[in-house]
């Protein structure tokens, strides 16, 4: 039995992150997938969310909800009035 590892492309990762930024929060991965018009598979979305969690860009709840957060380093820059 072969185990497959799902690796999203940079384009897909950006697509998922931008959609989460736009929505702010979703109740489930399925809701996010529907918002992406089923362009991205469930496994790829999970891989993107894992990366975004490590980056501290999203927070997942036990109930399955996902909230987009601004990374701390960007919030510090923006709070000081600096533009990127």
Residue 5 has pLDDT above 60, yes or no: yes
- What is the mean predicted confidence (pLDDT) over 63-73? 75
Q: Does residue 22 belong to any structural domain of this protein?
A: yes
Would you tell me the crossing angle of helices 10-23 and 42-54 to the nearest 10 degrees? 80
**Inside any domain, residue 1:** no
SS3 83: coil
pLDDT tens figures, 22-46? 998 899 999 999 999 999 999 999 9
Looking at residue 52, which CATH number applies to its domain?
1.10.10.10
How many distinct structural domains can be found in the chain?
1
Confidence class of residue 6 from pLDDT cuts 50, 70 and 90?
confident
d(CA 77, CA 83): 8
**36 within domain boundaries:** yes
Q: Could you tell me the two tokens for 73?
A: 């380093």
- Give the percent of the chain with pLDDT over 90: 46
Of 42, 84, 48, 49, residue with least CA distance to 66:
49
Give residue 39's domain range.
Answer: 10-79
Distance CA 64, CA 43 (A): 15
Q: In terms of DSSP bridges, do strands 66-68 and 25-26 run parallel, antiparallel, or are they unpaired?
A: antiparallel
Helices (H), 1-84: 10-23, 29-35, 42-54, 72-79
């Amino acid at each position: 039995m072969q185990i497959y590892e799902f690796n999203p492309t940079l384009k897909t990762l950006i697509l998922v992150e931008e959609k989460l930024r736009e929505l702010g929060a979703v109740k489930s991965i399925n809701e996010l997938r529907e918002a992406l018009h089923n362009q991205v598979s469930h496994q790829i979305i999970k891989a993107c969310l894992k990366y975004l969690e490590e980056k501290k860009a999203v927070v997942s709840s036990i109930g399955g909800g996902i909230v987009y957060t601004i990374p701390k380093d960007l919030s510090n820059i923006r709070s000081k009035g600096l533009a990127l």
